[in-house]
Amino acid sequence: MRAGGAGGAGGAEGVRQRILEATYACVARWGLSKTTVEDAAREAGVSRATVYRYFPGGREELMGAVVAWEHARFFARLYDEVHGAESLEEVMERGLSFAHRAIVDHEVLQRVLQTEPELLLPTLTVEATGTQALIAAFLTPYLERHPLAQGIDVAEAADFLSRMALSFIASPGRWDLDDPEQVARLVRAELLGGIVPPPT
């Protein structure tokens, strides 16, 4: 069975997309370590040579590209969820809740994290560096519009909040990110405490 959505894709980018979708389908079925270039080629309906044409680094490059592709898809969905938020508090609350639930419900990610974390985590660590910068850039306009405590630098606050958000998404600790009231307390008391003035 070919990966969904591949049939109508054309051109070089379409072929590359088809290979990524096919490889993801194979990873979902067999895991990272058992998925081969041959598996991906067969699933995509292309030759092994075609896979190497788009991913000359072979299996290692292909797997890294698949993780990066799914990572980008996840954050595109996150952006869709939060881009209409009107306040700094709202964007953070919506973002934390959505991202946590999306990760928990991501069957492929959870299975690979449980069975092959040593293969996945290094790539996720590399991706997280760029993600942190993107989140900081997204939060910056909200911080610029929001009253801040005296002496707070917008760029430093955006960097801090992006790092903390990623940390809590991955490991919420005592916080139940499925509970809107707890998410609100986390954002307003823990993350924004000291950054924004206390409510009057």
pLDDT digits (tens, 9 = 90+) for 51-72: 999 999 999 999 989 988 888 8
Composition of the chain by helix, strand, coil, percent to 5: 70, 0, 30
Whether residue 114 is found in the same domain as residue 49: no
38 lies in some domain: yes
Distance CA 161, CA 116 (A): 30
For the whole model, what pTM was predicted? 0.76
Structural domain contains residue 2: no
User: What is the extent of the structural domain holding 20?
Assistant: 11-56
pLDDT digits (tens, 9 = 90+) for 158-188: 999 999 998 898 788 999 999 999 999 999 9
| Cα–Cα distance, 185 to 98 (Å, whole number) | 16
Mean pLDDT for the stretch of residues 130-138: 88
**What CATH number does the domain containing 15 carry?**
1.10.10.60
